Structure formats: structure tokens, C-alpha cells
Amino acid sequence: MRPVEIKEGIWWVGAVDWNTIDFHGYSLARHGTTYNAYLVMDEKITLFDTVKAPFVEQFLDTIAQVVDPCKIDYIVANHLEPDHSGALPQMIQACSPEKVFCSPMGVRAIDAHFHPQGWPVEAVKSGSSISLGKRNVHFIEARMLHWPDSMLSYIPEDKLLIPNDAFGQNIASTERFVDEMDRSFVKRRMTEYYGNIVTPFSQVVDKILDAVDEMNLEIDMIAPDHGLIFRGAEDVAFALDSYREYAAQEDTNRAVVVYDTMWHSTEKMAQAIADGLTDEGVSVKIMALKSFHHSEVMSEIFQAGAVVVGSPTHNNGILPLVADLLTYMKGLKPQNKIAAAFGSFGWSGECVKVITQWLEDMKFEVVDPAVKIKHVPDQAMLDQCVEQGRAVGKALKAKLK
């Protein structure tokens, strides 16, 4: 890879992963990702983060196009997850840095991941700073955004924020900046990233954004560790405003009807429920779990005000793909959803009870009654499904008022 100078004396030296299709349990839909790292050329040459271990040789070669890696003085580890620290042992071996800076929780993470011997690790607390010569680096701890060790680095002289995973998108490309791509595409990838990784930590996002506001930081570039870099006032505002929007998890006039089916009865019910929702003016997306990965479904649910989940009864429970989705969704803790359950059965009929319990455990506002149909629905049964969709739509509209 070629290094890219993102500001005078500051270089992108990361790696592009074109081939990865799974990231933290969600499908990248073949968009790939990047592991961004940044090299600051100053009196103290400083590297911010590294890359995933398999890319270490490429990483060293990219750095070498700017400076001999052995001349790096400092390494800042904003986050110790292996996609950003996998190459850290090799970098320490290659450059023998004077210091490796990380958060206090990062010290523990380094010990747990690498069991180092004699590494020059130094903890930097929130509000502390270091001098690189002409530049200074201010540190902001961001615990649980999205790991306990996470922190942000800010260089005031360059108005540059390096926030690690925050504001990231999984995009593999030769472009390095948001303004080089269609913004709607970037927004979609950023929404997916937030919905599938950051959602449980939305309260932390609000606190960090508040802290940035209170510090009156001048920012004209945000350089995350995945995806594209935001440069200029317009794109920086786009990034910050998007995260405010995501963290709020406000209701929208959208619904997702998600299901798996055995002999198409549950599928017919899903379509009838969607008709009822559209009768109430709600925008609907129908998602069959045999066709959509659970992370694709979660990206839609994250942006929806209502979710309706269906399954036939299977071994006195629900189909595995539905259980998979509900497990995944519960872990991400989405907020402020209207919900309902539906299903079909041939013998025992536990499906609706099982799904309803999942939805209640997630603290969703469950609309009763659920609809459960034996074997194949006739028109009267499908009419019940339409009415369920209308009931969910009315509940959502009432909440939106």
C-alpha cells in the first residue's frame, strides 16, 4: 500500500483488508474493511495504533515509504483489540520505542494480550497530554466505546481527532477520505457499524460527545481506525451529528417484519402483517432469515421503530435462525422498539410464547394479541395477520406523536 499524507507531516499508513467477510459476528457483505494507523512526523516520530497481525509485513513496508520504522520514538495504542494491536509486538521489536502510551485499562489489556517483558508502557489518563515537539497530543478516555481500554487522541495544532473505532465504517477502498465517495454509501456503512457494534454503548457515546463539546475542541479532521477519514467542517459535522442521531435511538416510522419459515405458512403471515403495517402508513421491510444475515437484519431494526418476529414451532421452540437473530439482537440492546410475535404450528404451538418472552426480555413494548395459526392460513387467518400489522402500526404512530 502507498502511504497517504492526510495533513502536513501526518500519514495514513494502515492496511486494506479486501477479503474479510465477517467482522465481530456481522457480515460485511463483501465491502471489506481497513485497519487505519497514523504516523506523525515530528521531533518525536509517533505511530497511532497498528494493524491486524496478518498485515504486519505490508504495514512495515508502508511505514518504510515515509520513514525507517526503527526511527519511531513513540507508539500510541488507543485500543488493544487485535485488529488494531495485532502488529504491536512486531512494531516494538522493529523500532524499540521510547514509550508505548495507552489508557490505564490499556495497560491491563497489553498484559493480558501479550504478556510483555520490558515493554516501555506508560498509562495516560483522560485530560493528560504529551509533547511530540511542535505538536501535542491530548488524551480522552472512552471506556466502553467499545472496549474498557478505548481512548481518543487529539492533536490541537492540526485540529485532528484520532478516535479509534468511533465513527468507523467497514469499507475497503483505495480512497482514504469521505468526500471521495458517495456520502449515502458512507452513511450506510457507518450506520451498519454502529448498529452492530456500538449500539449497547450509546450512553457512553453521548457522554463522550458531551465531553468533546465541553472541551471546545477545534476539529477539522476525524481519522477513525476503520474506513474513511472525515475532513473539513462539513464532513466532521456529518460524523458528529450522525453519532448523536444514532445514540438517541429515536423512534422512526419504519418497521421490520423478520421471520423464518418451514412450509411457507409463516411467510404468508409475514406478508399479510406487512400489508397491515402499510395500511397504517408505516414503511416496511420484510426480511427472511434464510436470505438475510442476522447483522443485515439488525442494521434495519436499528433504524426502525417496530419489529415483528415470526417463526413456526420447531421442536417445541423456534427455528434456529430466529433464535440466532434474537440472541444477537438481545446482546446489542436496541432501545425504544414496538414489537410483536407471530407464528404457525402443526402440533404443540410454543413459537409465539417463546418469541414474546424474548421481546419482553429486551424491554420492547409488545403489542398483543400475538397471532398463531395452525398449519396453512386461510383468508380469515390472514385477515388476523393484517389486523396485527395494523395494531403495531397504530401503536407506533401513537408513540411517534
In the chain, DSSP finds a helix count (H) and a strand count (E) of: 12, 25
- Return the CA Rg of the chain: 24
Axis crossing angle, helix 202-214 with helix 232-248, rounded to the nearest 10? 140
What is the distance between the alpha carbons of residues 198 and 144, in angstroms, rounded to a whole number?
A: 9
Please provide the DSSP assignment of 32-97 as one string: -EEE--EEE-SSS-EEE----GGGHHHHHHHHHTTS-GGG--EEE-S--SHHHHTTHHHHHHHH--
Catalytic residue positions? Answer: 24, 79, 81, 83, 146, 165, 193, 226
Give the cell for residue 262.
418451514
What is the distance between the alpha carbons of residues 200 and 362, in angstroms, rounded to a whole number?
A: 12
Residue 219's Cα: distance from chain center in Å? 22
Burial class (CB in 10 A: 0-12, 13-18, 19+), 263: exposed
